Amino acid sequence: MSRTARVIWDDALTSYNFGPGHPLAPVRVELTMALARELGVLDKVELAGCAPAGDDELAMVHERGYIEAVKRVSVTGAPDLSAGLGTPDNPAFRGVHEASALIAGASLAAARAVWEGTAEHAVNVAGGLHHAMAATASGFCVYNDPALAIAWLLARGATRVAYVDVDVHHGDGVQAAFYGDPRVLTISLHESPRTLFPGTGFSEETGAEGTAVNVPLPAGCGDAGWLRAFDAVVPPLLREFRPEVLVTQHGCDSHALDPLANLMLSVDGQRAAYAALHRLAHETAGGRWIVTGGGGYELVQVVPRAWTHLIAEVAGHPIAPATPTGEEWRRLARERTGETPPLTMTDGRSPEFRPLSGGYDPGDPIDRAIMATRKAVFPLHGLDPMP
């Protein structure tokens, strides 16, 4: 097994563009790659290109009629509401099929590299479009690249794949794709569906043999509570499931500054989650780790720093939190967005938390959420739900 880390990148990945004013602005990915380059992170990885996913590959997850509908929209730019294109969340645009298929192809390239052993870890920061369903676009997502990567692995003979989604929104599309498939463990930590799109991801959604796991956290949850929930749910399940490959989605819209959601994490807390997942990839999946981006709508203060930390973690060369962002990058960020960029790679937080093993507080809404999830799924995996 190679010990290399690979970043899948093509400048054309920024063509996934719903237009001016849409929250999912491609500049966030452009600035991520620029920051990673300035800080020397890309010198520590292999950069590799990708080809668009073909129709047969897309059809591993998506209905062929839907793929044809996306292609028609791609030619004309005219809406097709039956396919979910032409809504405020998913505006129709010319080239939407090509742009979406390239993102899917990037995640498939990451899966291929890890499964075939040419890279130990592989990352597609432009990916993580976890809301797309089999026959409709949803939540800024047209083709579900994490689900496609997992389906590709299963088609190549994988019998246990784990997916961990730390986006602030429930990973509903990936869950739906494998809800009845015990070969795939999906774990999503997200803001409660009572207060946030897509309105799914309750703890009682447990799938086949308890392989759908949902941790809905209350609005206002910050680093300490979020990391406590992660620690109480994710490591025990991954250790028990023992996946052959770990796939993770890293939407950074759980940050306190994100304009579309209500969790209160810092870049430092998110960085701690990346490190924990890296350790778990080695402990439980033989180091085979496929990584995608996801949501994140604070385009300058949050996404570039969070995902540069992510790439650095994947590379095995974490960036010290106090590292300056670099004057050239700050100049580029000002030119591209008009915003004042951050000076360092930290929010100045110390992401410490108290493990659940130290005691459960039934009056704490975060602890109640944790225990609801553990009671729903732990017994199905032969685990004791009590701390």
Active site residues: 131
Give the ranges where the chain is alpha helix by DSSP (H).
27-38, 55-58, 64-76, 96-116, 145-155, 172-177, 223-241, 267-285, 303-315, 327-337, 365-377
Q: Which residues 6+ apart lie within 8 Å of 82 measured at CB? A: 69, 136
CA distance 183 to 93: 36
CA distance 171 to 156: 24
For helices 327-337 and 27-38, angle between their N-to-C axes, nearest 10 degrees: 170
CA distance 132 to 177: 10
Q: Which of 140, 126, 211 is nearest to 169 (CA)?
A: 140
CA distance 188 to 190: 6
What three-state secondary structure class fits 22? Answer: coil
CA distance 195 to 198: 9
Greatest alpha-carbon pair distance for the chain in Å reads 59
Q: Quickly count: other Cβ atoms within 10 Å of residue 329's Cβ.
A: 21
Buried b or exposed e, range 107-138, using 16+ CB within 10 angstroms: bbbbbbbbbeeebbbbbbbbbbbbbbbeebbb
